[in-house]
Chain A
Amino acid sequence: MTTAISTQKKLKEPIIVPGTKEKVTDLVVIHDPGKCTGCGQCMIGCAYKHYRTFDKRFALLYVNEDPNKKGMYVNANCSHCVFPMCLASCPKEAIYKDEKGIVRISPLICIGCGTCNQACPIGIPRLDEERKVYVKCDFCDGDWPMCVQMCSANALRLLPRKEAYEYVKNLRGGK
């Protein structure tokens, strides 16, 4: 019997990428579409954690029905990339990596232009319509992410980066 409870719950020291000055989170959230039931609990938990509402439109990760496969769900969540395209593209340098490797957007510098959303391969940053700035996953400040805690079918998991890469590779049939 596997339990999510015994997994590493907090970020540890960031991983330093060899040969670069880049640092990256030691854990990433991965999604298994074969397990996801589309319950939306990850988005609801995220929305409550960050906005104190159960309205899933406020979430910072996204799960939608796969238009090509009935009954299957696809997800988009931030991987806090080694070389984040959002960070590279920001014209105001509002996006930065903190000491844990978490990619963040400073709401005081962001001008809400949306370049980060366009640059991100999966369009993770979204506009906070009230504050007129872009927002994205902050890895729950390095704590056990609420989306993973809330996932009702163990489709979202927190894995060390290397293991996550292998896991996703296997899900894709070794590609």
Chain B
Amino acid sequence: MRMGTKTNTKSSSTKYGYFLGCVMPAKMPWAEKATFLVSKHLGLDFDYLKESLCCVRPGVWKAINPDWWLTLTSQNLANAEKQNVVIVDSCNGCYISHYECLQELKEDPEKLEMVNRNLEKAGMKLALKTDVKHFLQVLYEDVGIARIKKAVVNPLNIRIMRHIGCHARKHDERFPNYFDEILKATGVEIVDTPYDKTCCGLLLYFSDPNSSIFHRIGAKMQTAKELNIDAYALICSGCYDQFERAVKIYKEEKGIVFETPIVHFSELLALAFGYKPEDFGMMYCRPIPPTKLIQKLKEGK
């Protein structure tokens, strides 16, 4: 199956509960598989967060009713606590929801009391003993860039653009650097463009679909086309949802076909670690087939 090395040994006793979110199981089975391949390969004690519910995206719910948002999101925190795992999110929306909920409850005992009153009705309790981490944090801080570099047996000789997503910039300015450094460790060449930090437009879609699709993703994908890059790398499932939607709308409404495959960060890592595209179903269920990319990687050009 794999082209390369032995699995690295486990270095930490931390148990991670991976929160899938809503988009990944529905639209990104290859990303889910690749994330697990990469995590196991790096020796992490990595499993799904069981009994998980919607992350309850704060972007909408905080405006409607912050107490509802805190209560609903804290269910995942309580489940993680019960399972004695650290919640890991690769979707930025899920991360920000879990992270901000945890922080707010830590800073406001009255809110924690309110949340626990509500959770009690569902037979749950939150003692704030869990932690929330972004997948980038787990890889960069817990595993370390040296071990990631060591695991690379098949450096990827491709040119990519990347999109980390807004929420990964909110509370920690190190995340964009983690993203870049881990990507570079796979051997890819990152092409910088003026649209790298521009939002994917997901948050704007229901308010202003035209700007959301044609100004945000349009600018990004058009630039990718002009620069003839091999792949567009993302980590956030919410952003992927928007990229996929935009690519379809461009094709249906404007007859414009983009050919730059949109890939998940974990897929590139899995490929660099020696896994084959078929190990995680890279060629299925995507609006832009990565045929040319796979061919290029096979030929090693």
* Residue of A3, A45, A69, A72 touching B62 (CB-CB under 8 A): A45
Q: Does B288 contact A (CB under 8 A)?
A: no
Interface residues contributed by chain A, number (CB under 8 Å) = 33
- Report A58 CB to chain B, min CB distance, Å: 9
- Report A51 CB to chain B, min CB distance, Å: 11
User: B20-62 interface mask toward A, CB cutoff 8 Å, 1 = contact, 0 = none?
Assistant: 0000000000000000000000000000000000000001101
**B171 to A150, Cβ gap below 8 A?**
no
What is the chain A residue whose CB lies nearest that of B107?
A5
**CB proximity to A under 8 Å, residues B160-197:** 166-167, 169-172, 193-197
B residues near A39, Cβ cutoff 8 Å: 166, 199, 201, 203-204
Q: Does A49 contact B (CB under 8 A)?
A: yes
Q: Does A1 contact B (CB under 8 A)?
A: yes
**B207 to A37, Cβ gap below 8 A?**
no
Residue from A3, A37, A54, A146 whose CB has the most chain B CB atoms within 10 Å? A37
- Report A167 CB to chain B, min CB distance, Å: 15
In the bound complex, CA of A35 to CA of B199 (Å):
11
* Residue of B107, B170, B207, B211 touching A154 (CB-CB under 8 A): B170
Q: Does B100 contact A (CB under 8 A)?
A: yes
Q: Does A10 contact B (CB under 8 A)?
A: no
Q: Does A125 contact B (CB under 8 A)?
A: no
What is the chain B residue whose CB lies nearest that of A69?
B194
**A6 to B197, Cβ gap below 8 A?**
no
**B62 to A71, Cβ gap below 8 A?**
no
**B172 to A1, Cβ gap below 8 A?**
yes
B residues near A4, Cβ cutoff 8 Å: 170-171
Q: Does A44 contact B (CB under 8 A)?
A: yes
**A152 to B166, Cβ gap below 8 A?**
yes
In the bound complex, CA of A150 to CA of B207 (Å):
15
**B166 to A37, Cβ gap below 8 A?**
yes
User: A66-104 interface mask toward B, CB cutoff 8 Å, 1 = contact, 0 = none?
Assistant: 000111100000000000000000000000000000000
**A37 to B199, Cβ gap below 8 A?**
yes
**B107 to A150, Cβ gap below 8 A?**
no
**A55 to B103, Cβ gap below 8 A?**
no
In the bound complex, CA of A37 to CA of B96 (Å):
16
**B207 to A56, Cβ gap below 8 A?**
yes
A residues near B96, Cβ cutoff 8 Å: 152
**A2 to B203, Cβ gap below 8 A?**
no
Using CB atoms and an 8 Å cutoff, list the residues of chain B in contact with chain A.
59-60, 62-64, 96, 100, 103-104, 107, 166-167, 169-172, 193-199, 201, 203-204, 206-208, 211, 215-216, 219
Using CB atoms and an 8 Å cutoff, list the residues of chain A in contact with chain B.
1-6, 35, 37-41, 43-45, 47-49, 54-56, 65, 69-72, 146, 149-154
Query: What are some 12 contacts across the A-B interface (CB < 8 A)?
Result: A5-B100, A6-B107, A37-B166, A39-B201, A39-B203, A40-B203, A65-B215, A70-B194, A150-B63, A152-B170, A152-B203, A154-B170
A40-B204, A45-B62 known; 12 new pairs, CB 8 Å cut-off, are A5-B103, A35-B197, A37-B166, A38-B198, A39-B199, A39-B203, A40-B208, A48-B64, A70-B219, A71-B196, A72-B194, A150-B63
